[in-house]
Amino acid sequence: MIIPKQEAIAGYSAEYFLPHNTYELIFETDVFSSCVLANLFSLSEEAEQGLELKITFDKQANTFPVTQVLGEWGVTATGYEVRDDLIVAAASLNADTGKTRIEYGQVSDADHAIIQTSVDRFSQERLSHLAVLQN
């Protein structure tokens, strides 16, 4: 999950949570389907390299299917559903890996609590590592 930067807790705004007790901070946005394309465009521009992408628009489904050629790793396809100019879902369109759908929406108080727990645990781990290094 990722929250808006202005709502970050101690500078952290993304985490990975699996019930019941897995809380991990995420440090790079490329794990989020909604961020992948922006990161790809930025990195390809920085490297002065082109991207092998095909982006279309499916008006009936209000989605943007995106196909990317990954060279020796094959081809990947993702459909981005848009509503009110925002990405509200991303779905894998790869037949061989199965379909996965991720939905995006408003951040709840429970989501903020999960990030707070992730930050607290990460901070505690850092303090523990520092204590070990100092001894």
Q: Which percentage of the chain shows pLDDT scores above 90?
A: 15
Identify the band that residue 101 occupies on the pLDDT scale cut at 50, 70 and 90.
confident
What is each CA distance from 95 to 37, 74, 76, in whole angstroms?
A: 21, 12, 10
In angstroms, what is the C-alpha Rg of the chain? 18
Range of the domain at 19: 5-121
Identify the band that residue 97 occupies on the pLDDT scale cut at 50, 70 and 90.
low
- 64's enclosing H/E stretch is strand 63-69
The answer to whether position 44 is within a domain reads: yes
Mean pLDDT throughout 18-29?
86
Whole-number mean pLDDT of the chain? 85
What is each CA distance from 98 to 49, 54, 64, 93, in whole angstroms?
A: 30, 20, 19, 8
Q: Residues 45, 70, 14, CA angle at the centre, nearest 5°?
A: 65
Report the domain count for the chain.
Answer: 1
The conformational region for residue 62 under phi > 0 = left, psi -120 to 50 = alpha, else beta, is left
The answer to whether position 46 is within a domain reads: yes
> Which tokens sit at 102?
């991720």
3 has pLDDT over 90 = no
pLDDT tens, 33-77?
A: 777 788 888 888 888 888 888 999 988 888 899 998 887 888 888
The answer to whether position 15 is within a domain reads: yes
Give this prediction's pTM. 0.66
